[in-house]
Structure 1
Amino acid sequence: MSRNRETTEARLVQAVGTVISTLDQRELTASAVAETAGVDRMLINRYFGGLNGLVERFAANHRLCWASELLTQGLGPGQVAGPRPAILTMVLLRYLRMLVGAPALLGILKAEFGADSALARLISSHRQHEEKRLFGSLGLILGAPLDPHELVGLKTYMSAICLELIRREAGPAGGGMLDADELARLEAAITLGAAAQFGAR
């Protein structure tokens, strides 16, 4: 591969990230990426086989989803104390804090809830993969697989948390950052709701 091609490919991959950060202003298209990179759009087809291939390359070098290990850190089979509902609620609170502390990741996840696109489908695929890993890990940690009730509860609350943070970011105040009081209120609401969800049988 020539140095010129390597440089151009790197610029195009970087441009994908730049366009993602401005998805509110424009869509992720081959034209937008090429314009941002300052290269001919046809090079996307020539070097990557199209926009999907370029997005896949971007995904190979950038995390498009959270890592399940972040939500189960410090937990292991036989190392948890407390009832299952409390452990599952703790995981949801970790998920909330992780997204609050990673606005760039939240911006990427926001693309999944936008118009159908190669990026949205790829993010959805990555998220589902990490969810599957998380749920499998929790089953091992808790000593028994998650039941359907627990699976639905986790998926529902994780989606609701993500959408709520996106809504706050897009609101009149903008910024997307929760102050300490807002975070505490949201944590309290999640704790109460999740305890009822996971405790109900």
Structure 2
Amino acid sequence: MEGSCPAGTRLEPQPWHRLLRFTNRSGEKPAPDRFLERWLDWHMSWAQVQTAVSSFSRGEPTDTPKKKIPLRENLWADSVNREGGPRLIGSRCLECREIFFPSRNDGFCTHCQAENFEEIQLSSNGKIYSYTIVMQRPPIYYRGDVPYAIGYVELPEGVRVETLFSTSDFEQLRIGLDVELVIERLHEDEEGNEVLTYKFRPVVR
């Protein structure tokens, strides 16, 4: 049949997948396309809504100040705390105390199936658990700079956060490296507004 593939034939990955390098503690190598797309899927939804809403304001004066729009609402708190700086917002199960990020207000705990959660602010420092270097722009969603680094950071609470890394010196990234939370520009939307996201950057000693 035309377009069919003989049994046992290995399909070649998309070109940009070949340009990924993946490292983690256990040596596992999950598919980089799922790794990136999962992060983008739940981050892009709010930014897309904001862009759609802003399209209705095209009649405003040209000197209207540009906005800074979070990639998704309720990912971080900007208020200054005792440690200073922003904090990621997570949820803790009231039954088993398991912690989740991003936060959840409904659904059930994947560990004990309880349905009650409380909102908490997570630590702003952690250690790199895994990372990937992307050398070519993916074919979907992502509109930030390339090349870039994406991976997981393990926080003191035990939760692992999927994140971009704020650095242009990828050689300094390594498993176990101390990193800290920052809020930075990801890209500009169609209206020229800055779309912001959280990232982690290496701690300068």
Q: TM-score, normalised by structure 2?
A: 0.28
The structure carrying a bigger strand percent of its residues is 2
Higher percent of residues as helix: 1
TM-score (norm 1): 0.28
